[in-house]
Amino acid sequence: MPATWSARKARSSTSPPADVVFGGFSLAFDMSVETMWSAFFVGAVVLVATEALATSGPDVAIALAEANTTIWHVVPSLIALVEHPVPTLRLLNMGGEACPADLPRRLARPGLRLLNTYGPTETSVTATWTEVFPGQRITIGKPPPPATPPGWSTSTSSRSPTARKVNS
CA–CA separation, 34 and 162 (whole Å): 24
In this prediction, residue 18 carries a pLDDT of 82
Say which range, 11-15, 53-57, 126-130, 138-142, has the weakest mean pLDDT. 11-15
- Residue 4 or 45, more confident: 45
In this prediction, residue 102 carries a pLDDT of 94
In this prediction, residue 1 carries a pLDDT of 35
- Residue 161 or 76, more confident: 76
**74 vs 84, 131, 155, CA distance in Å?**
15, 15, 36
CA–CA separation, 87 and 141 (whole Å): 26
Say whether pTM exceeds 0.95.
no
With contact defined as beta carbons under 8 Å apart, do 43 and 11 qualify? no
pLDDT at 106 over 60: yes
Q: Which amino acid is at 150?
A: P
With contact defined as beta carbons under 8 Å apart, do 73 and 35 qualify? yes
Average pLDDT over residues 36-42: 82
With contact defined as beta carbons under 8 Å apart, do 19 and 67 qualify? no
Average pLDDT over residues 48-69: 91
pLDDT at 48 over 60: yes
Paired strand residues for 72: 22, 92
SS3 61: helix
Average pLDDT over residues 84-95: 93
In this prediction, residue 14 carries a pLDDT of 52
